Amino acid sequence: MRYVYVMARTADPQRRVALLAQIVDHLLDQPLATLSFRTLATALGVSTYTLVYQFGSRAELLHEIVRAITTRQNTVVEAVAAETGELEQHLQNLRDSWNWVLHPRNRQLQRLEFEAAMLEAQEPGLDPITPKVFELWHSVGREALLAMGLSDADASLESRIITNIMYGLQYDLIVNGNEDQATAAFNRALEAYQDRIVSLRPRLAG
């Protein structure tokens, strides 16, 4: 009787992280939809086998790319999560988030995130990441507003509104490329957001 032994895939975590960083850099000016192991291997100067060994399948590779892209603003998320109920601190964290995306490289990462979201919606494959990123922003924003004294319903709704506004203005920035107009719209939206938060605070005291 002949036995065939198959070695399990045990990807090197350090090699995987290094390759993932190279892949994200490569994709900054490339469409994510055309991603394949072959084209990626050629661009990075590695073998297709190396990529398959490290990532398993195209779906898994895409999953890891999305994870790498969407964790880019962790510092801003952590800043919002650490807020102590001060409105100005909250507004400044939102300004920091907007200023982050104005950087050319980060703008390209945001483009990749939008493209990845569409791909995940069409081919869910592994557990989709982009809906969780949206929910994370909504959740930390809600907690920040609760700390300011808003009701749960108001905090949840206002957090969803500002999250959608931020995503929409980032989309505007990427599609139209007009930084001045997009920033002016962001500042106007932030002023309106501030006014609503101030007006909603007294409701709990009545």
Domain boundaries, the chain: 13-56, 71-204
Q: What is the pLDDT of residues 148-173, one digit of tens each?
A: 999 999 999 999 999 999 999 999 99
User: What are 96's two structure tokens?
Assistant: 């920091």
For residue 124, the model assigns a pLDDT of 62
pTM of the model: 0.81
Q: What is the pLDDT of residues 65-87, one digit of tens each?
A: 888 887 777 778 888 888 889 99
Average pLDDT over residues 46-72: 85
Q: What fold characterizes domain 13-56?
A: Arc Repressor Mutant, subunit A (1.10.10)
